[in-house]
């Protein structure tokens, strides 16, 4: 696994990250790697819109209020 070094991290950011790492029972490196993995897996707005457009149009003929009333049952 190639190393990553981040320079010029402001003191307040470093302190917050260290505190979060400690709260999770992790070292700062472990915590940072977890956060980087989450960031790498996160899709952008553009990617989400592209995925949504692949699904095709949404059926707007569905009466959602009727579905809710049916599931609630008699009052």
4 vs 64: CA distance, rounded Å: 50
What is the tens place of the pLDDT at every residue in 31-57?
999 999 999 999 999 999 898 888 777
CA 28/CA 26 separation, integer angstroms: 6
The mean pLDDT value of the chain amounts to: 92
pLDDT of residue 32: 96
Domain ranges within the chain, ordered by starting residue: 11-58
Q: What is the pLDDT of residue 52?
A: 86
Residues 58-75 have a mean pLDDT of 87
Confidence of residue 62 (pLDDT cuts 50, 70, 90): confident
């Amino acid at each position: 696994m190639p190393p990553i070094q981040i320079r010029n991290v402001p003191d307040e950011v470093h302190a917050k990250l260290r505190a979060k790492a400690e709260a999770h029972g992790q070292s700062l490196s472990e915590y940072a790697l977890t956060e980087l993995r989450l960031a790498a897996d996160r899709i952008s707005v553009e990617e989400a819109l592209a995925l949504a457009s692949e699904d095709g149009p949404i059926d707007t003929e569905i009466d959602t209020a009727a579905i809710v009333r049916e599931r609630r049952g008699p009052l």
